[in-house]
Amino acid sequence: MDEGEAASHPLRAQAEADLSRVIVEIVAVTGLQTRWRGIVVVRGLDFLHAGQKHGWCGISLREDILSVSEYRWPTMIHEGLHSVSAAFSAARLDPVSRRWEEAIVEQTQRILRPGLLESLGVTLDDGAVSARDASHRYNGYIGGLEAQRQSEQTASLDFYLRLLRSAPRERIRMLIAAVREVASRREEEA
């Protein structure tokens, strides 16, 4: 699929309309500003990611993900959260910052999802959504974040919103316990 086909994709208009609704709710709940410019690029099956927020402030979503509600809505919430994250700018993130960004955004997605879906009037199959969550690539990092949060005894949403508001360098300083947790799990596995 070339750029022209992606622009005129039949799923694009509805995807932009739905993502707009999602992001309006995200901005209301988090109090953070979005940098999304209202553009969705629908990608073919050869695209490596379910979704991707770009430095130029568009969002790519893959057509198979858009076709299944249990993937469509969580992925839209996930990408919408990247658009309000302080870590996402035109500059590319280094690999370590990128993994933490993914874990922070994904866990925030899971926390906010029930409330957002209710506001949006969307009902999903819980089993299918849980299966999606369970297969997420950054679950190990999410485990590290949760271990740190529990040791700090911080309420879920407060903890993740504080991270979303922080630039990558500041974040890494905030995440010392989570980084250690992920490293020690790796040693156990090795």
By the criterion CB under 5 A, which residues form the site for Zn ion?
A: 102
Note whether 64 and 46 are within 8 A (CB): no
Residue 60 CB, shortest distance to Zn ion, in Å, is: 11
Beta 59-62 vs 40-43: how paired, if at all?
parallel
Instruction: Compare residues 13 and 135 and give the one whose CB is closer to Zn ion.
Output: 135
Distance of alpha carbon 69 from alpha carbon 58, whole angstroms? 21
Query: In the chain, how many H helices and how many E strands?
Result: 10, 3
Q: Which two tokens stand for residue 73?
A: 């809505």
Q: Tell the smallest beta-carbon distance from residue 105 to Zn ion (Å).
A: 5
Extract the tokens encoding 82: 């990247």
163 with 174: CB under 8 angstroms?
yes
Quick one: 102 or 181, whose CB is closer to Zn ion? Answer: 102
On whether the CB atoms of residues 21 and 153 are closer than 8 A, the answer is no
Q: To the nearest whole angstrom, how small is the minimum distance from the Cβ of residue 57 to Zn ion?
A: 15
DSSP state of 85: -
Query: 25 or 102: whose CB is closer to Zn ion?
Result: 102
Taking CA atoms, 123 is separated from 10, 45, 106, 131, 146, in Å, by 23, 26, 19, 16, 27
For tokens 């990247």, name the residue: 82
Using CB positions, name the residue nearest to Zn ion.
Answer: 102
Shortest distance in whole angstroms from residue 106 CB to Zn ion: 7
* Minimum CB–partner distance for residue 117 and Zn ion (Å): 19
Of 63 and 102, the one with the shorter C-beta distance to Zn ion is 102
Nearest to Zn ion of 92, 190 (CB atom) = 92
Q: Residue 174: which residues within 8 A CB-CB, separation 6 or more?
A: 162, 163, 166
Comparison of 65 and 190: residue with beta carbon closer to Zn ion:
65
Shortest separation between residue 102's beta carbon and Zn ion, angstroms: 5
